[in-house]
Amino acid sequence: GGSGGGGGGNRGGSLSGTVTSNTQTGTAMGNFDVSSPETTNSNGGVVTAVPETLIPQPDVDYFTQGTGKIGGFSDISNVVWAQKAIVAMSAVGIINGKSETQFCPDDNITRAEFVKLLIGMLKYAGKIDIGGAECSFNDVAADAWYYEAVAAAVSNGIVTGMSETEFAPDANITRQDMAVMLSRAVKAAKLATADGAELIFNDEAEIAGYAADAVNQMTKAGIINGFEDGCFLPEANATRAQAAVMLYRLAGGE
């Protein structure tokens, strides 16, 4: 299993660092191994749920383009742990840079951006129906670039908004809300996920009640990682690179 933000490590305070649990030796929340049909859960049982590979693995040529670019981007050399995820999803049009050559991996990701990526991945994989979906949030205009994605997420039970009338598209998404959306997406799209060690975080009490089950499910699946100090930091935000890794893992990426 990998560690850190997706395989490389990314220590040093990343929101997707590695946590060691007493229920499992070593890395408790590394990348799940999609090549193995069996995953032992914390109760010692064996779960035969192999995450389906929903997007192609990136062509190795993306990593050897020269001119300092990786997958066409000139600014992802320092996020080695996220390169494969970014390249794989950009190659099939699920994720884009903020410009032709700039991915801006360290920028926080907004609620609208994350929903757009999540729905885009499920749509690419043919796992979700987005036709004719509508939503009635006051702050989601019908002509907004993210309207279709938010509407599809609402109709498929993936998002419910900050309230009945507000979605807060431009707010930076929190880690616990990412977990909730990812967990609901797994259910809506009937995706298989790994079932690894259950973790008790040092800041468990800070995780909102509505997000507790989702955080548990997504960390056991290795899709969202905690910090090396044993905390989950539910209210913290996540970067574009970290979001890319989470979605790549959800799509069965190694």
Q: Which residues pair with 27 in a beta bridge?
A: 20
More confident residue, 143 or 39: 143
Spatial separation of the C-alpha atoms in residues 160 and 38, rounded to whole Å: 34
Residue 58, burial from CB neighbour count under 10 angstroms (0-12, 13-18, 19+): buried
Q: Give residue 132's pLDDT band: very low, low, confident or very high (50, 70, 90).
A: confident
Spatial separation of the C-alpha atoms in residues 43 and 96, rounded to whole Å: 40
Q: What pLDDT is recorded for position 130?
A: 81
Q: Give residue 9's pLDDT band: very low, low, confident or very high (50, 70, 90).
A: very low
What is the overall mean pLDDT for the chain?
A: 80
- Whether 250 contacts 220, CB under 8 Å: no
Spatial separation of the C-alpha atoms in residues 153 and 236, rounded to whole Å: 22
Q: What pLDDT is recorded for position 59?
A: 65
Whether residue 65 has pLDDT greater than 80: no
Q: What pLDDT is recorded for position 64?
A: 53
Mean per-residue pLDDT, 151-159: 95
Spatial separation of the C-alpha atoms in residues 79 and 5, rounded to whole Å: 9
Q: What pLDDT is recorded for position 71?
A: 85
Mean per-residue pLDDT, 65-89: 86
Of 59-63, 200-204, 233-237, minimum mean pLDDT range: 59-63
Cα-based angle 35, 197, 179 (whole degrees, multiple of 5)? 85
Torsion angles phi and psi, residue 175, rounded to 5: -65, -35
Write the pLDDT tens digit of every residue in 183-193: 999 999 999 89
Q: What pLDDT is recorded for position 19?
A: 33
- Whether 199 contacts 19, CB under 8 Å: yes
Whether residue 48 has pLDDT greater than 50: no
DSSP of 103-130: --TTSB-BHHHHHHHHHHHHHHTT----
Whether residue 160 has pLDDT greater than 80: yes
Whether residue 213 has pLDDT greater than 70: yes
Spatial separation of the C-alpha atoms in residues 113 and 149, rounded to whole Å: 9
CB atoms within 10 A of CB 141: 11
Write the pLDDT tens digit of every residue in 232-243: 999 999 999 999
Identify residue 188 by its one-letter amino acid code.
Answer: A
Of 37-51, 162-176, 194-208, minimum mean pLDDT range: 37-51
Q: What pLDDT is recorded for position 29?
A: 27
What region, left, alpha or beta, does residue 17 occupy, with left being phi > 0 and alpha being psi -120 to 50 degrees?
Answer: beta
